[in-house]
């Protein structure tokens, strides 16, 4: 009953709000505030069976402190009408100096009563930015420095880190078409089970936009990864070369990586190597908008070794049940459930294994009538392993969306992609039977 009240209130919000919901600015336009929110309600079926490759199911079962068999999906906030809302604030202190300060609150289940502190929480996202120009020996330079929360961090084109949130520092220095960057990422092991502490990343590159519309980038990087619980050689070095070609709405990209190993770990020249090749295409018209992203990957036998740690928990081990148990030592934010399945942690579960994968995501919507749209969101991920049988993940969400005033969307859909709080990284269950759901969202410019 309470969930219906909450969703009803959210439904009528846009009709009582004027255009000022888009942003609130001071007279000098130095402070802007944006309101975002999302409310989701899923209706699980009696059949809770999931698809999971046998080798991954066995691996997860052996390392599960909750004693799960990983043959069924478990309780999640969206089954109880979850709601999040946030204020995205940007303060401009001077030209090129700004601070993004976001406050996001979550109620992870309306059916647990009002202000149940076990499932009500607030967390910040803070990032400071400095952009400036200067001259050195009569040469013009520009730089951008960011420190704080780096949302949806991607290293190069995603052979390693991608689709995760990190905290750290990034400095990029530009001199015409040449650039250099340095990144320091702090203790990733605190929220993602990659078994990596700090990361030090050095990059150099060249980019150029040609008169014919082509944009080209070439670069190289050295990533130093500090591994946990390895005293002999705690720093693992990964050298990468990457490049891309972009014109209009299509972009091709590639990355080659090589992990420097001690001789005792090297099986052959290819075992510590990895590679990625992909493209992204976008199209927009009055009736149809769609985006397609494709990636194929290769990881040698020893490239992903050591990069897994089962100690990260998104549920509390002190509670006797999984029902309503949605927060552990670490948080899996509700906003992150709108993201891709594809990330490095999917592949690091294949330890000491050679794998080739192909993944894609298609997001499309067609206008049916005025503010009524039909949407489809489809993900596929094929993983071919040398030691195990091939795995094929397919996630979908399809249905109707209605645009209301204030850039708010009401959606009705079916999906087989649900939140997974039971493993060491933020991922999803693939259900065997579709789940019906509805939502009300105003995501605005939030990066999800």
**Digit-coded pLDDT (tens) for 220-237:** 999 999 988 766 666 789
- 118 within some domain: no
- 351 within some domain: yes
- 11 within some domain: no
Q: Exposure pattern of 278-304 as b/e (b: 16+ CB <10 Å)?
A: bbbeeeeeeeebebbbbbebbbbbbbb
d(CA 446, CA 448): 6
Residues spanned by the domain of 234: 43-77+135-442
Strand duo 408-420 + 31-43: pairing: unpaired
Q: Look at the alpha carbons of 54, 60, 61, 67 in this order and tell me if their dihedral is positive or negative.
A: negative
Low-confidence ranges of the chain (pLDDT < 70): 1-29, 230-234, 262-267, 447-448
Position 107 scores a pLDDT of 93
- 23 within some domain: no
- 64 within some domain: yes
Q: Which tokens in the block code for residue 152?
A: 């949806």
Position 448 scores a pLDDT of 60
Position 265 scores a pLDDT of 54
- 320 within some domain: yes
Residue 440: Cβ-neighbour burial (10 angstroms; 0-12, 13-18, 19+): buried
Residue 72, domain CATH: 2.40.170
d(CA 49, CA 363): 26
d(CA 24, CA 116): 31
- 99 within some domain: no
- 26 within some domain: no
**Digit-coded pLDDT (tens) for 145-160:** 999 999 999 999 999 9
Position 5 scores a pLDDT of 41
Q: How many domains does the chain have?
A: 1
Position 191 scores a pLDDT of 87
């Amino acid at each position: 009953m309470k969930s219906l009240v909450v969703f009803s209130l959210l439904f009528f919000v846009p009709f009582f709000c004027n255009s000022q919901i888009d942003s609130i600015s001071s007279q000098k336009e130095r402070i802007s505030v944006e309101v975002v929110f999302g409310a989701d309600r899923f209706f699980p079926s009696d059949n809770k069976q999931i698809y999971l490759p046998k080798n991954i199911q066995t691996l997860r079962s052996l390392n599960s402190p909750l004693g799960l068999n990983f043959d069924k999906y478990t309780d999640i906030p969206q089954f109880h009408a979850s709601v999040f809302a946030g204020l995205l604030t940007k303060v401009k202190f001077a030209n090129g100096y700004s601070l993004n300060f976001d406050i996001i609150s979550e109620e992870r289940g309306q059916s647990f009563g009002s202000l149940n502190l076990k499932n009500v929480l607030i967390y910040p996202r803070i990032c400071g930015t400095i952009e400036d120009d200067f001259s050195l020996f009569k040469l013009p330079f520009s730089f951008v420095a960011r420190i704080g929360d780096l949302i949806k961090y991607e290293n190069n084109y995603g052979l390693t880190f991608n689709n995760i949130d990190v905290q750290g520092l990034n400095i990029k220095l530009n001199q015409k078409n040449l650039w250099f960057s340095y990144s320091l990422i702090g203790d990733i092991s605190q929220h993602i089970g990659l078994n990596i502490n700090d990361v030090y990343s050095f990059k150099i590159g060249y980019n150029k936009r040609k008169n014919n519309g082509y944009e080209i980038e070439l670069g190289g990087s050295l990533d130093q990864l500090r591994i946990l619980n390895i005293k002999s050689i705690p720093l693992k070095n990964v050298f990468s070369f990457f490049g891309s070609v972009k014109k209009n709405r299509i972009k091709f990209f590639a990355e080659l990586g090589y992990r420097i190993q001690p001789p005792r770990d090297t099986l052959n020249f290819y075992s510590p190597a990895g590679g990625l090749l992909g493209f992204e295409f976008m199209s927009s018209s009055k009736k149809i908008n769609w985006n397609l992203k494709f990636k194929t990957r290769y990881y040698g036998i020893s490239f992903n070794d050591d990069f897994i740690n089962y100690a990260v928990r998104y549920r509390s081990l002190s509670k006797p049940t999984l029902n309503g148990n949605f927060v552990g030592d670490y948080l899996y934010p509700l906003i992150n459930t709108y993201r891709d399945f594809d990330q490095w942690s999917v592949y690091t579960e294949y330890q000491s294994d050679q794998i080739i994968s192909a993944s894609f995501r298609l997001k499309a919507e067609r206008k049916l009538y005025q503010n009524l749209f039909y949407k489809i969101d489809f993900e596929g991920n094929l993983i071919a392993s040398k030691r195990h049988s091939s795995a094929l993940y397919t996630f979908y969400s399809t249905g109707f969306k209605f645009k209301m005033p204030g850039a708010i969307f009401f959606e009705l859909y079916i999906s087989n992609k649900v939140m997974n709080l039971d493993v060491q990284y933020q991922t999803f269950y693939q259900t065997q039977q579709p789940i019906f759901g509805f939502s009300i969202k105003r995501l605005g410019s939030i990066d999800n």
